[in-house]
Amino acid sequence: MMRLAEKIKLVEEVVSVPHYNVAGYTHGKLVYTTTEEGVACLWSLDTSSGLKTRLADDVYMVGNIVPDSPLAVYTKDVSRGREQQRAYLVDVRNGKRREIGEVEPRRITEVCFDGKTVALSTASEEAVELWIAKPDGSAEKVYQTRDLLFASSIYHGRIAGVGVLRGDPRTYEIFIYDLSDGEFTVYTPKEGASNRSPKLFQEKMLFATTAFGGERLLIYDLKEKRLEEPEYAYKDYERFDFTEYVLFDWFEGGRIWFVGKREGRTRAFVDGMLIPLPEGFIHMLTVVGDKVYASHSSLTEPRKIYEVDLTTGKVETVLGVGLPSRVKTRLDRAYPAKYRSFDGVEITAYVVESADASKPGPCIVYVHGGPWAEVADRWNPFIASLAVCGYHVVAPNFRGSTGYGEEFRRMDIGDPGGGDLMDVVYAAEWARGKGLASKVAILGYSYGGFMTFLATVKRPDVWDAGVAGAGITDWEEMYELGDAFFRRFVEILFGERRELWKDRSAAYFAENLKVPLCIMHPQNDTRTPLKPVLRYAAKLLELGKTFELHVLPEVGHAMTRMDDVFKVLFPAVLFLEKYISK
């Protein structure tokens, strides 16, 4: 049995392994973010001299980089985690920075750039908005709505993106905003389809759509008003059957690269040619002549940047470090497992077995956030930390998760905390039935924190303990405290069924809690506010329940500092040691 001090040290090592992520390439420089300094910073690497230059610190989001402009656009939180962000431009040749000062701090959901104009989708208290900005820092709000929307591309006078634009919470339509006449056009190849991430080039728009069955990449010609199949020089992709196209874009005047995903693992193709990267997940890539730079990770390997030579197929790590061996040896197998839920629906869970736990041994059911997200075969410091501490981790992709088709993703709409919660309960049963789990704790952050709160009061007999980070205990109160974006988000998630809010709020069932609960919450969280959770804790105190509460000062929902990740994990590890290790 490992000593507690040893576990804490291992978690610190896991959390401090730096991540590297490709942002793009321009003017001879690979632009990337890294957490080497304990917080995400923007850097450039001169690929001929090897010289590295720091461009910006504590960055939140980086926009796409275009080869004909030396500028990179990025955002920073200026509100100690309250997600009030500003946008900036930096010249990668000389590191000169400029603030886009005319956009007052607000939630920025996307940034994109065509070399001349920046497009931003944002949200304020009152509205969801589209802004444009120029490299001189001037900016203008061009559109506002109460619908959810996200810009994904700008090209010579047009902005494209997706949103819930026809009032159907299940579907995402495309919008095209024309800067010359201010016309906002909604497009979908078929009513009822979900469309993703349109990318503009000349008169063409490349996008993913479920209009014709499973997700496919298609091109819409904006001038001819016609759909086309993308064409590729190579046919390697034909051997694969992907459920989703997670990333795609144009390069070099009309060629296309894309990343397809199946079962939480991805493959990348450049003009149809398979890129020989290891098994796992490709987070981003950029094509530079006959080279590809890609950031990649797996559940047992942190994010690194690889260079792939397209002519020789040679793969090299350009940025990134491996895990310390004491960490690596404790991460045993990582694999997807399938089980049937209460109503026969097939659920996939990613399992990471701990080399330090017996079988059966203490087990964590890790519930991901989103809820329209997934646990894939990619680096996750929470999962890795728990596994190195001697817990088997079972991470179910419950109904509503991405990665298993659009019908599956939509299954939680109008029923959050219903069927998806049962899928999580069945993950615990599966782990016990397989002989993997002895004691089981449920642990999650954000939507996963919500599920933890609800699971421990609605299915109190399934768990031995619960750890809820940045969770939701009361939908009504959370809605009141949300901005325009999150109010709409909640309406969409519940499929407008407000009458369900109470039944899906742990606040109304607190007396059912039976197991010790560890609560962690960022003080400045503006997505899942602290206030309702404090009230919940007060209720638990009144009822004489066993719980602990940790408020993280000066931290927001999206933790950018590795220290803050550690601050969430540290109490969790102490708590789990006490309640499920023995």
Q: Would you please indicate which residues are annotated as catalytic (active-site) residues?
A: 446, 525, 557
Q: Which is nearer to ligand 4NP, 380 or 446 (CB)?
A: 446
Cβ proximity of 148 and 166 under 8 Å: no
Contact residue for ligand 4NP among 105, 369, 381, 529 (CB under 6 A): 369
Distance between first and last Cα of the chain: 10
- Per DSSP bridges, beta strands 517-522 and 547-552 are parallel
Place of tokens 């632009």: 31
What is the sign of the dihedral through the CA atoms of 305, 309, 313 and 316?
A: negative
Instruction: Tell me the closest approach of the beta carbon of residue 468 to ligand 4NP, in angstroms.
Output: 12
Instruction: Tell me the closest approach of the beta carbon of residue 181 to ligand 4NP, in angstroms.
Output: 35
**Contact between 123 and ligand 4NP per CB under 6 A:** no
**Contact between 446 and ligand 4NP per CB under 6 A:** yes
Q: Single out the segment in contact with ligand 4NP by CB under 6 A; choices: 252-260, 355-363, 385-393, 487-495.
A: 487-495
Instruction: Tell me the closest approach of the beta carbon of residue 431 to ligand 4NP, in angstroms.
Output: 23
- Who's near 32: CB < 8 A, 6+ residues apart? 20, 21, 22, 23, 42, 43, 44, 45, 295, 305, 319
- Who's near 550: CB < 8 A, 6+ residues apart? 518, 519, 520, 521, 567, 571
The residue type found at 93 is R
Place of tokens 């920025």: 108
**Contact between 298 and ligand 4NP per CB under 6 A:** no
Cβ proximity of 515 and 460 under 8 Å: yes
Tokens of 57: 């610190």
Span 522-541, contacts to ligand 4NP by CB under 6 A: 527-528
Instruction: Tell me the closest approach of the beta carbon of residue 478 to ligand 4NP, in angstroms.
Output: 6
Instruction: Tell me the closest approach of the beta carbon of residue 32 to ligand 4NP, in angstroms.
Output: 24
Instruction: Tell me the closest approach of the beta carbon of residue 446 to ligand 4NP, in angstroms.
Output: 3
**Contact between 493 and ligand 4NP per CB under 6 A:** yes
Residue count, binding to ligand 4NP (CB under 6 A): 10
Contact residue for ligand 4NP among 269, 447, 501, 536 (CB under 6 A): 447
Cβ proximity of 100 and 90 under 8 Å: no
Q: Which is nearer to ligand 4NP, 242 or 489 (CB)?
A: 489
**Contact between 453 and ligand 4NP per CB under 6 A:** no
Q: Single out the segment in contact with ligand 4NP by CB under 6 A; choices: 58-66, 270-278, 486-494, 496-504.
A: 486-494
- Who's near 3: CB < 8 A, 6+ residues apart? none
Instruction: Tell me the closest approach of the beta carbon of residue 554 to ligand 4NP, in angstroms.
Output: 19
Task: Say how far apart CA 125 and CA 175 lie, in whole Å.
Answer: 22
Task: Say how far apart CA 11 and CA 6 lie, in whole Å.
Answer: 9
- Who's near 233: CB < 8 A, 6+ residues apart? 255, 271, 272, 273
Residue 228 vs residues 207, 219, 260, 298: alpha-carbon distances, Å? 11, 5, 19, 34
Q: Which is nearer to ligand 4NP, 44 or 452 (CB)?
A: 452
Helix (H, G, I), strand (E, B) or coil at 137: coil
Q: Single out the segment in contact with ligand 4NP by CB under 6 A; choices: 6-14, 28-36, 175-183, 482-490.
A: 482-490
Q: Single out the segment in contact with ligand 4NP by CB under 6 A; choices: 157-165, 326-334, 394-402, 485-493.
A: 485-493
Q: Which is nearer to ligand 4NP, 24 or 371 (CB)?
A: 371
Residue 20 bridge partners (DSSP)? 34
Task: Say how far apart CA 468 and CA 145 lie, in whole Å.
Answer: 33
**Contact between 490 and ligand 4NP per CB under 6 A:** yes
> Using CB atoms, what's the residue nearest to ligand 4NP?
369
Residue 437 CB coordination number (10 Å): 27
Q: Single out the segment in contact with ligand 4NP by CB under 6 A; choices: 183-191, 240-248, 304-312, 489-497.
A: 489-497
Cβ proximity of 149 and 162 under 8 Å: yes
Tokens of 407: 């019908």
Q: Which is nearer to ligand 4NP, 155 or 445 (CB)?
A: 445
Instruction: Tell me the closest approach of the beta carbon of residue 375 to ligand 4NP, in angstroms.
Output: 12
Span 311-340, contacts to ligand 4NP by CB under 6 A: none
Contact residue for ligand 4NP among 489, 536, 570, 575 (CB under 6 A): 489
**Per-residue contact string for residues 387-426; x = within reach of ligand 4NP by CB under 6 A:** ----------------------------------------
**Contact between 370 and ligand 4NP per CB under 6 A:** yes
Cβ proximity of 199 and 151 under 8 Å: no
Q: Which is nearer to ligand 4NP, 369 or 532 (CB)?
A: 369
Peptide bond into 360 cis (omega under 30): yes
- Who's near 311: CB < 8 A, 6+ residues apart? 290
Q: Which stretches of the chain bind ligand 4NP, using CB under 6 A? A: 369-370, 446-447, 486, 489-490, 493, 527-528
